[in-house]
Amino acid sequence: MAFRIDRQSRCAVIGYGSWATALVKILLENETSVGWYIRNREVLESVRRNETNPRYLRDVHFDTGRLRTSDDLNETVRSAEVIVLAVPSVYLKTTLEPLAEPLSDKFVISAIKGIVPGELVTVAEYVNRRYGVPFCQLGIVSGPCHAEEVALERLSYLTAVCKEPENARALGEKIGTPYISVSYSTDIYGIEYASVLKNIYAMAVGIALGLGYGDNFVAVLISNAAMEMSRFMAETYPAQRDTFASAYLGDLLVTSYSQFSRNRRFGLMIGKGYSVEAARVEMSMVAEGYYAAECVMRINERYGVEMPIARAVYGILYEGESPAASLKLLTGKLI
């Protein structure tokens, strides 16, 4: 094993959104100190002075004596062995643009549930190709876990995913708390794609609800989405995996049903008659499913997996298709 995470491995989080803020809170439960790269000066100064993020999860207070906050990306990366990426995928390239420090000697964890726009690859694949980080030094943190409930310390479940089970266990020790239960996996590809696809399907659920479809239809829609997800993963990255596990099905369910789901909310606005641009303006946070819908369709050109739900969402978001007509057509393709 080329790189071993241990208790002494210092962690740093890149990003200052709701999930990045939640991850810093989680890591501080176990680590003596945590690095935090915050490129927004207002947020950085508020964390330092007021011990809170003024934009996200304002009720979370940090022990700033154990935080290494900085707006210098290279300083943050230099001072840690484990780098946790927690920015929206659409901003990943620009966020990492100032990076001069090598990542190839770090263990890089993606907590991003999206595909890098313009690259047609997942975050782990992008970091591997762009920064030369081998897959044995890449990991994923995923699962049905909204930042808002972490802030409230409601019992939540995360999956630590690494190629080497020993690293997954060590990562689990860093993110496990009395309110975070951790499971383990080596399925980097499948779990990362599941976390991308579920955002598309949550948008489909939101669109259906906005159009007035009821619980009966939504249950069928989500069941078919789970099957569609399984087909895609089986074709693109064949492996032994239990897609009923929480990192797959659980994440799909919470994103489709939760009041905290921004992708469901985005779809709901589309179903209620918002234009795509109006919905994007209205959202205060990034809905990863918007970007994933195009990327997944382009990736699927290579594989030809039957994906009627993802195709319907793509048509609505990118081809100007009528939400009502698209959902009506979709109803005849579900079982």
Q: What amino acid positions are annotated as catalytic residues?
A: 198
**What is the C-alpha to C-alpha distance for residues 125 and 92, in angstroms, rounded to an integer?**
13
Opening angle at CA 328, ends 196 and 249, nearest 5: 30
Burial class for 237, CB neighbours closer than 10 Å (0-12, 13-18, 19+): middle
Provide the CA 131 distance to its chain's centre, in angstroms. 20
- Closest to 92 (Cα-Cα) out of 78, 69, 108, 75: 108
- Closest to 145 (Cα-Cα) out of 183, 91, 116, 108: 183
Going 255 to 258 to 262 to 268, the CA torsion angle's sign is positive
**What is the C-alpha to C-alpha distance for residues 153 and 202, in angstroms, rounded to an integer?**
24
Q: Determine the length of the chain.
A: 335
DSSP state of 335: -
Burial class for 143, CB neighbours closer than 10 Å (0-12, 13-18, 19+): buried
